[in-house]
Structure 1
């Protein structure tokens, strides 16, 4: 065996162990007994200790120095391994294990405090998580901006300054569009009670329509929907609200976008460094394009309207056009995951500013609730009525996912570019989606982007797929055209 072969064999075992760690996290969020939380935290911490030891193994430096890639794919594998090793060796083993243990415990604390509307009960745990993430950011940054170092974990090459500049360019047009739309009045929404089991049956159908491979996946319920795993075991979760079926249906389609990306990676790359998505921004481009540009399109909602009438009967909407407007109804709600396309990125921008300030030490955890509520009132014109609609609504900070939030909007930006290119390449797309057939769109995504995994850098793979450099322009043009049409602007 060559040095490269030795390196890849070692890395394959590391990737397999990382998948096991991910499965423990999935189980914790879906079916783990509540009383197992402390033990699970120890298990996850112990496994992270093993993973960190492998990721910083002294042999890696030697192998990476001597290995010669057999081809372009091998070069990409080495690039990913060098990046991973360079980051891992900056993190002390104690810190890696403690982060894994504390964030595992913190998720349960967050869920309990969210249910009780108990911010004070959550703050000590969150303060511990923030302190550890500040330490990690400082170790990675080596004198630079610690927040940039954390962002780079989710979106290689991206910085807080670049994100802030993008957000500054987007915000005025989003705010102007929101003002016009809200002044026009909201369309009628659905009414009635939608049986849980009927919702779950239809959500399975929607997952199938969007290409989810059930032989390599499953769907379960969770407080906060997510996708987990890669390759031949990619699981999704959703949630059910009996008076709001769109919550279940579009959460599912969103998570299927993530899962389809992981299921679509070239099988030759599985359990290798490039065997997963290129970045969280690129990942979000899949989930947001599936959920919004495809799933909330006039063509697809026409088909969904028919299926919902068959399953639920009359729910207060007379025709497909009214249903399309109801699905895309704009309103200033509290919850990011339930936000319409006009408001969604404004939620992300707020979280970006808050978490950046937290990591930089410019905002104390004790002051976070006040900062959140003040900013929300300023940005959305509404006072937060309870913590579960405010700073306790998202699981991310309890999980230690600082630097993750901006990738949601970056994913929307990428999605705007990708769907613009998709529609140019598949001119008959709407006629197919009107029949509940999105296979042409999902096949395009798989061929142009998903199959490559992280062989290419994030902007590189999006540029190759689109044929042009990504920017916020296509997303803003799409939003202005869509909602201008719906609201007669």
Structure 2
């Protein structure tokens, strides 16, 4: 077993180098370096791919004799990944790495120019390659299941189609009910916010939430992300909008949640298949927990508001309750990352339906802008004015991350269920938040979730933590209670 671990740890070091190259590509790399960087990433990725699917890996898998839960999980995960990767021709794997690297830069340019046509050729290529991967990997009922499994092991399209309709019905009706309540005054948030001050406040937020700047850093990117380079190197990016302070605040807290999870995974799990989050849905539960359940709570702002006012003194005259209601305003908005807790899952449902249809050849890339706009009108009653507000707003398709979006919705559902259990174990949860005592909350998450790495399947883990499998009712109860208070219903 130790030989297999050593082999995997060696390959993991190359993955760390690739992570660093990707981080640089989205933060500081000069634009003219795209072509060469894509080739470098392709070359290193190809080498790791070859080494992983080699006879040596197969021999070590066959020889391995796990003697504990962690070793059993390592063997289970590496066997699954080996069997998956072995089916993919190296040329196809490398081509996908190169094309997604190019597509990311094309997406950035297209988004800036608000023109989907500048990204369309790259996206067509990525979609074509993703479909080839699905064909060689195989599928049972739905092609999309093959992609879902990469992010949420064991999840099927069929299960999502069971979860979504009742949740969608509740959200649409609840959205209508809130329109009858007392509307928050968001005019108090209008105005210009200095980007330097936004960054300093973002750093203040991260320090308060126990993000370790000796093990990470904060930078700016077109689309906020968290990336784990190695055990004590987990980096965050955010973005600043001069006219929308909520953007940087909640992007920063969201990414902090991801980073805290990564930093809480045991060091001995690192460089091994278990040295990761249980799934992207569980990962998103951590970011959404800190962003929404903590970061959008009234108690959180009772603690942070004096610090916020220090950077933006014009809020001295604004009542904290009015501020809290304003940052929790529910509205039919265009941008997913800026959406409130009530409408957010509707944004995810739109993306899931489009992706699933695209992968199953019921729609094509040329139709995406039109279909996107139609679904926005159907679900949220609004239409984007340009492609940047619509089909170009997310980087995921440029990455080739088809199947990822449902993780965000699952993250919201998991987070509410985890929170229900946490309140039983920490009855004075909101008092601790109001006092700025976030360490006991983080320690609870570390014990129950972070310390488990990827040893357990996501549904196993959620049952271990909460005593039951995924139950969307906890999310429905959470948003109902909170937003009736926000809207004074």
Give your verdict on TM over 0.5.
yes
Are the aligned partners of 2:246 and 2:327 in contact in 1 as well (CA < 8 Å)?
yes
Which residue does 2:211 correspond to in 1?
212
Instruction: Normalising by structure 1, report the TM-score.
Output: 0.97
- The reply on whether 1:29 has 2:29 as its aligned counterpart is no
Kindly tell me the number of residue pairs found equivalent between the two proteins: 486
Alpha-carbon contact 1:302-1:323 (below 8 Å) kept: no
Match of 2:111 among 107, 114, 120: 114
Are positions 1:89 and 2:66 aligned together? no
Unaligned runs of 5+ in 1: none
The farther-off stretch of 290-299 and 12-21 is: 12-21
Distance, in Å, in 2 between the alignment partners of 1:457 and 1:82 is 15
CA distance in 2, matches of 1:486, 1:67: 56
Q: Deviations over 1:105-140 (max 9, x none)?
A: 000001101111111121111111110111112222
Instruction: Give me the whole-angstrom Cα distance separating, in 1, the residues matched to 2:365 and 2:268.
Output: 45
Task: Determine the C-alpha separation between the residues in 1 that align with 2:207 and 2:345.
Answer: 28
Q: Which residue of 2 aligns with 1:69?
A: 66
Instruction: Please say if residues 139 and 146 of structure 2, whose CA atoms lie closer than 8 Å, have aligned partners that are also in contact.
Output: no
Worse-superposed segment, 285-294 or 298-307: 298-307
C-alpha displacement of 1:196: 1.0
The more displaced of 420-429 and 60-69 is 60-69
Scaled by the length of structure 2, what TM-score is found? 0.97
Q: Distance in 2 between matches of 1:158 and 1:15?
A: 26
* Cα offsets for 1:406-464 (capped at 9, x unmatched): 01001111101111111111111211211222222111111110111101111111221
Residue 178 (1) aligns with residue 175 (2): yes
How many angstroms apart in 2 are the aligned matches of 1:349 and 1:107?
23
- Cα distance in 1 for partners of 2:134, 2:179 equals 40
Unaligned runs of 5+ in 2: none
**2:245 is aligned with 1:245:** yes
Following superposition, the deviation at residue 142 of structure 1 comes to 4.8
Which residue of structure 1 lines up, in the alignment, with residue 319 of structure 2?
Answer: 319
Structure 1 residues 46 and 185: CA distance shift in structure 2, 3 A = farther
Contact between 1:192 and 1:315, CA under 8 Å: does it hold in 2?
no
Give, in whole Å, the separation in 1 of the partners of 2:271 and 2:416. 30
Residue in 2 aligned with 1:59? 56
With 59-68 and 36-45 compared, the bigger mean Cα shift is at 59-68
In the alignment, which residue of structure 1 is the partner of 2:121? 124
| C-alpha distance in structure 1 between counterparts of 2:254 and 2:120, whole Å | 30
Decide whether aligned partners of structure 1 residues 317 and 225 sit closer, same or farther in structure 2, where only a CA change above 3 A counts: farther
Assess if the C-alpha contact under 8 Å between 1:221 and 1:239 holds in 2. Answer: yes
Matched, 1:49 2:46: yes
Quote the Cα distance in structure 2 between the aligned partners of 1:182 and 1:22: 45
SS of equivalent to 1:240: coil
CA contact (8 A) 1:141 1:148 kept: no
Residue 257 of structure 1 corresponds to 257
Counterpart CA distance in 1 for 2:347 and 2:164 is 11
SS at match of 1:228: strand
**Secondary structure of the equivalent of 1:314?**
helix
**Are 2:438 and 1:438 equivalent residues in the alignment?**
yes
1:368 & 1:34 partners in 2: Cα distance? 27
| Change over 3 Å in CA distance of 1:22–1:415 after alignment to 2 | same
The offset of 1:469, in angstroms, is 2.2
CA RMSD in angstroms, aligned pairs only: 1.3
- Paired with 1:375 and 1:142, the residues of 2 have a C-alpha distance of 27
Conserved? CA contact 1:302–1:324, under 8 Å: no
Matched ranges for 1:159-170 at <5 A = 159-170=156-167
Match of 1:334, SS? coil
DSSP 3-state at the match of 2:241? coil
Q: CA deviation at 1:182?
A: 2.8
